[in-house]
Amino acid sequence: MHTVLRTPNQALISLTNAEMLVLTDILRHARHHRDLGESEFRLRFGADRESASALHDAMLATPRQQQLETAEVWAEPGSSVMLRAITVHGDPVELSEHEAREFAERLRQAIEASE
């Protein structure tokens, strides 16, 4: 596991499939721990059973996209330019010269669109 970014309220982590399997298995066991009342469940796991179940389901869901990296740029009109560039390992995205020029052009267009 690699913590890519972390704030007091949120974290972006990179997990191997094996690590993901461990976490989903823990959540599955917690979710089906029926001998615990809801307050005991919340005390032990730090969440209610419904939230644990939702997290388990979300972790098992098929990803929207099967890709190893993303490099995106877009504009929030009249506001700001948004940029995301990261790999599934939390590493920077490596671009060829051609790809970097294309990305720079998309960035330029997003800057114009945000004004």
Domain ranges of the chain: 2-60, 69-114
- Residue 105 clears pLDDT 90, i.e. is over it: yes
Token pair listed for 4: 């890519």
Please give the model's pTM, rounded to 2 decimal places.
0.59
Residue 40: pLDDT over 80: yes
Q: Using 50, 70 and 90 to split pLDDT, how confident is the model at 13? A: confident
Average pLDDT over residues 51-56: 89
Tokens of 79: 């506001």
**In contact, 74 and 110? CB cutoff 8 Å:** yes
